[in-house]
Amino acid sequence: MVIDTHVHPGFLEELEISDEQLKYAQNMMGLHKTHRIRLEHWEKACRCAEIDKLFLLPLDLTTTTGGYLGTNEQVAEAVAINPQRFIGFASVDPAREDALEVLKKAFVELKLCGLKLHPSKQKFYPDDTKMDKIYELCIEYNKPIIFHSGVSMEPDTLTKYAHPLRFEEVAARFPKLRFCLAHFGWPWVREVCMLMLKYRNVYTDTAFLYFDNPKEFYAQSFGVDIGPYWIERSLRHQVMFGSDEPRLEQIRMIKAIREMNLRESTKEMILGGNALDFLKGGREHD
């Protein structure tokens, strides 16, 4: 089972996004030349990349810019169209007065599998105690959170909100909350390794490419910026494959992961096994 844990649904044509919603997605994500993406395209891309399932990560920006990058309902609709391919996540703007109701509905009625939050875009600090109720709800329903972490290249985003160290208190105070610091918290990859080593409820993903090509960038990030054996020996249960589609591209990203000098069993975990543990809560590893 190969799972891409980081895919943005805001451009999917079958969700019948309006022209206004498309323009909003382009502006909010800074993807100025990305247009509607047909489901047929994703199906073929998944076949080429030998990917079985995709996590769809929408984003609720109602209190900051008055819109959505895919709504929870649209994600549930996509899952209904192709339940074999899609694993739907929810999103909620934490500043909404009805945030808890929205999230509860997403988990109970829409059957979404987790929560996506973007501190830099939604403008909150993850260790703010105002977030506690949301974290408690996720624990109550056994749903993981995928946080954007590290730099964001999207417009109107400040990195200070998503620095990996702003997540330590969350990991410490909510040990039963599984959460992913997406994009490996780049450029703070060592800090993310520290958090994963210290807190086994912290995961990360490989959806990061800011210089060079995927093979070169991963060689720098996983072989120079951190020790070349850190993942293999100590963190292999907590790293998940993610592509950041459509900003980055699945085929070249996953090829670089498959060519990494890791044991096959480690690659299997990164490419899918860890994502399944992340969703449901897997066994603990010493």
Q: Which residues bind another protein (CB under 8 A)?
A: 29-34, 38, 40-41, 44-45, 47-48, 153-154, 209-216, 246-249, 251-252
Identity of the residue, 41 or 96, whose beta carbon is nearer to another protein in the bound complex: 41
| Shortest CB 34 distance to another protein, Å | 8
* Contact assessment for residue 19 and residue 35, using Cβ atoms and an 8 Å cutoff: no
What span, in angstroms and rounded, lies between the C-alpha atoms of 169 and 166? 7
What 8-state DSSP symbol labels residue 165? G
Query: Exposed/middle/buried for 212, CB within 10 Å: 0-12, 13-18, 19+?
Result: exposed
Say whether 68 sits in a helix, a strand or coil.
Answer: strand
| Shortest CB 223 distance to another protein, Å | 16
Phi then psi for residue 112, to 5 deg, are -75, 150
Sheet of 3-7, strand order: 3-7, 53-56, 86-88
What span, in angstroms and rounded, lies between the C-alpha atoms of 190 and 268? 23
Identity of the residue, 31 or 194, whose beta carbon is nearer to another protein in the bound complex: 31
* Contact assessment for residue 76 and residue 105, using Cβ atoms and an 8 Å cutoff: no
| Shortest CB 256 distance to another protein, Å | 10
| Shortest CB 32 distance to another protein, Å | 6
Identity of the residue, 244 or 277, whose beta carbon is nearer to another protein in the bound complex: 244
Identity of the residue, 248 or 260, whose beta carbon is nearer to another protein in the bound complex: 248
* Contact assessment for residue 261 and residue 23, using Cβ atoms and an 8 Å cutoff: no
| Shortest CB 132 distance to another protein, Å | 34
Identity of the residue, 202 or 219, whose beta carbon is nearer to another protein in the bound complex: 219
| Shortest CB 202 distance to another protein, Å | 26
What span, in angstroms and rounded, lies between the C-alpha atoms of 70 and 91? 9
* Contact assessment for residue 149 and residue 118, using Cβ atoms and an 8 Å cutoff: no
Identity of the residue, 28 or 170, whose beta carbon is nearer to another protein in the bound complex: 28
| Shortest CB 12 distance to another protein, Å | 13
CA distances from 175 to 60, 90, 200, 216, 222 (A): 26, 21, 8, 35, 26
Identity of the residue, 39 or 137, whose beta carbon is nearer to another protein in the bound complex: 39
Identity of the residue, 88 or 246, whose beta carbon is nearer to another protein in the bound complex: 246
* Contact assessment for residue 8 and residue 32, using Cβ atoms and an 8 Å cutoff: no
| Shortest CB 93 distance to another protein, Å | 22
